Structure 1
């Protein structure tokens, strides 16, 4: 979901299991993450940590599992990244984690309940 108004509109994720939060501060970040990562769930399942190596290993394994059913994954990601002039998702991981931790963008349901954090 896009929120706010003006030129830079933050993007908020609304998950099917009651999780949600800020994904990025611009519409450009959201497709870069969707195109470049196995899923937002996988990208927030492990902490970024000091150097992000454990998270990157986790994402590499998830991508490996996807390639079993979708061998052209990397080729299609590259095509979309070039066509849309998207930054590599790897460069956005720390920003994604910082954004997802921002309580100001945590959704509230119609019943008044706050959505859970996307961070595991």
Structure 2
């Protein structure tokens, strides 16, 4: 386990690790936000640290030297805290790469619904990326991460999103963003019947 500065340094200095995080887990430190208009309602500083394939961005909230929550802002206008610090955020994106879909299928933030979706998403992950366990192990070892079961990560994600509060409301030059919990339940996905 390391602090955010140390973790980011290790990723940036190891091109193979950075590529694996980008290609396998959609955490690309080369995709940093160029928009300076991003802000929180609390006026805490934001540091853009990575992006994903869809235009979403990861931010560290607060100043260096304190525990800095990680906020994710999607390209669809949703944003919220996903982890209490970078270590926890990396454990989430590596341990459960389909975490965004779990939020989408949360029926407005119902943990039981998210846990149900997690079962289907894990099945889909293994079908779509049969070598994912090997990639997870490589990243976990390189960064000193503990990879926990997806249901544990889902519970932690739910708690982070739910407890962040209005101080972490996100906006940029396009306007105010909505929350991360999506309206759908797993029954909405026909392939999960």
**Which band: TM-score by shorter chain?**
0.7 to 0.9
| 1:67 paired to 2:129 | no
What SS class does the counterpart of residue 108 from structure 1 fall into? strand
Aligned to 2:171: 108
TM-score by length of structure 2 reads 0.52
Runs of 4+ in 1 over 4 A off after TM superposition: none
Q: Structure 1: state its 5+ residue gaps.
A: none
What secondary structure is seen at the aligned counterpart in 1 of 2:170? coil
1:80–1:118 CA distance, 2 compared to 1 (3 A)? same
Q: TM-score, normalised by structure 1?
A: 0.79
* Larger Rg belongs to: 2
Matches of 2:157 and 2:128 in 1, distance apart?
27
Root-mean-square deviation over aligned CA pairs: 2.1
Equivalenced residue count is: 115
Structure-2 residue corresponding to 1:15:
74
Cα shift readout 1:87-110 (whole Å, capped 9, x = no counterpart)? 315433333223213232121122
The 2-side partners of 1:60 and 1:21 are apart by 23
Mapped pair 1:118 → 2:177: no
